[in-house]
Chain A
Amino acid sequence: MTKSTRLVQNLILLVFALYALVPVYLVFLAAIRSEADLFSGPLTLSWPINFNNFGRIWSEAGFATFFMNSVITAVSVTILVVLTAPLAGFAFAKMNFRGKEALFGLFLAGLVVPAPSVIVALYGNLQALGLIDNRIGVILPQAALLMPFSVFMMRTVMQDVPDELIEAAVMDGAGLFKIFLTIVVPVVKPGLMSLGLITFLFAWQEYLLPLVVFQTESLKPLTVGAASLQGRYGVDYGGIAAAGLIAFAPLVVLFLAMQRSFVRGLTAGAVK
């Protein structure tokens, strides 16, 4: 590779790194600056870091509650998906049964279903079930909307489990559910980890469902809280920045800590 080619390449890598990071840096900066010097001075970190914005948003604007709500919803959705999707993935990867193709096609079609289309009928159904303004009314539909992707990914993961392992266990007379728990699950643990992380990410980011289902302020998650803050506290930029940071920092940290597992999950459905 010539020197100039390499120089151009490094430049491209750098420009996109800045594209990715500058907006994140700006929010960070706005969150830790005091209101007075927000629009003055260079775009460098001020010292000492000013935590007033976080304190104000956390206790006065209700973000402690929004944060807990995001945790509760995202964790519940994740548990629900991780308990159910692997079973279906196992059936699709390792079992023969009547209607298999059609049922898998049904899940496959769900991969592209737009949530706003579903909402038009789902909203009335949730009302009829008494689930409007109820956590269950977000958790169940959210898990259902994530199900096609999760089942698809789990099928890919389960296909890598050696058939001999399962056959040997069947010979020994073990039940299928026992085989799943004692033989399959330990082998696919990394895949389950990836599924859990990605489900958690998507559930935490969800906006539309909680927006339409929750009316009570104390049930809303961070995404809805941050969006409404923008309208109510239009000029409190430091506060909104702190709120935004609270809404995404856990995801960034989680991603950086578990990068390998995330990437494995994201590519599981794509490459094969």
Chain B
Amino acid sequence: MLTTRSAYLFLAPSLALYLLFVGLPILQIFGFSFFDWDNGIAGDFIGLANYGRLLADGVFWTALWHNAIWVVLTLAFPLLAGLVLAAILAERNASVVRWLGAIYFIPRTIPLVVAGIIWGWIYNPIFGLLNFALEAVGLGGLAGAWLAQDNTALLSLNVVGAWTFFGFCVIIYLAAIQSIDPSLYEAASIDGASWWRKFRDLTVPLLRGSTLFLGLYAAIEAMRFFDLVWVTTQGGPGYSTEVLTTHIYKTFFLVGDFGYAATLSVVLLIIVLSISAGAFALLRKS
């Protein structure tokens, strides 16, 4: 380890860029949130009044609730799928792993904007593949306008989110499984343990660190995702897919209420920072 002041020179370019375009705006939104804004011009200092508005803002609570649902769904489905798929792939030969790993990851390489367009078609009530497939297997009664009905829109979007995310979980879990000492599995096999027992008693507990990492990653992404909702439903129908980021975007660009948009941004920032602080505490412990 070198003790040197030239470290600051090495840090300077990335730190400058980061502070100017991320750090400074974050300080500013804290400041903005204490003022009354009119047409993009700061007016009176109003203390915590913008924060008081949160309590009465039904859209804010609806959006927050949707983000919470999104967190739970993302933790439940793509993470679990990734874990099971990785555990199965771990015992297959290298070329199968390489190919399936690549196939599962392909949706992650597709921009969310394009993913939204593709799945918008699959969900289309008139010509969409989903309704077509349901009718083909005799479940035509379940067919619907998936993204246009407020009881199915959020869940349908989550399937798209999961589509882009589960392959990432497979890759992270696979890398972790491959670093587990194989003799543990051999010993279990000699004891006559079934695949399921090895999965439950060895793989799952030993991958706790990866699960924490992916859980944190998924929760943060679930709090801050924007593109997918914006290109498909823009928060609708009604407010049925409204999330915090779309609420911020609309408050800022459509309503022009800078102070309240900043307040919402501060709240979102505090939520994601708290989630990560909690997860880091857990990671330290394990």
Contact = CB atoms under 8 A, between A and B. Distances in A.
Interface of A: 1, 5, 9, 12-13, 16-17, 19-24, 26-27, 30, 39, 80, 83-85, 87-88, 90-92, 94-97, 100, 103, 106-107, 109-125, 140-141, 143-145, 147-148, 150-151, 163, 166, 170, 176-177, 180, 201, 204-205, 207-208, 212, 222-224, 226-227, 230, 237, 240, 244, 247-248, 251-252, 254-256, 259, 262-263, 266-267, 270-271
Given A17-B104, A26-B122, A116-B248, A145 B85 contact: no
B137 interface: no
B4 A176 contact: yes
A144 to B, nearest CB: 4
Interface in B224-256: 224, 226-227, 230-231, 245, 248-249, 252-253
A246 to B, nearest CB: 10
B70 interface: no
B10 A91 contact: yes
A235 B7 CA distance: 57
B15 A103 contact: yes
B43 interface: no
Contacts of A23: 107, 115, 118-119, 122, 163
Contacts of A148: 18, 22
Contact of B11 (A91, A116, A237): A91
A24 B108 CA distance: 12
Interface of B: 1-11, 13-15, 17-18, 20-26, 28-29, 32, 40, 81, 84-85, 88-89, 91, 98, 100-107, 109-115, 117-122, 127, 129, 163, 166-168, 171-172, 175-176, 179, 194-196, 209-210, 213-214, 220, 223-224, 226-227, 230-231, 245, 248-249, 252-253, 258, 261-262, 265-266, 268-269, 272-273, 275-276
B179 A271 contact: yes
10 contacts: A5-B195, A20-B104, A20-B163, A20-B167, A115-B224, A117-B268, A120-B29, A121-B24, A177-B6, A180-B10
Nearest to A150: B14
Contact of A255 (B15, B105, B253): B105
Given A144-B21, A201-B109, A114 B28 contact: no
Contacts of B272: 112-114
Give the dominant DSSP class at B's interface.
Answer: helix
B175 A270 contact: yes
Contact of B103 (A20, A83, A145, A204): A20
Q: Nearest 3 CB-CB pairs, A to B?
A: A114-B224, A144-B21, A121-B28
B258 A267 contact: no
Nearest to A14: B100
B110 A252 contact: yes
A13 B22 contact: no
B106 A204 contact: no
Nearest to B87: A9
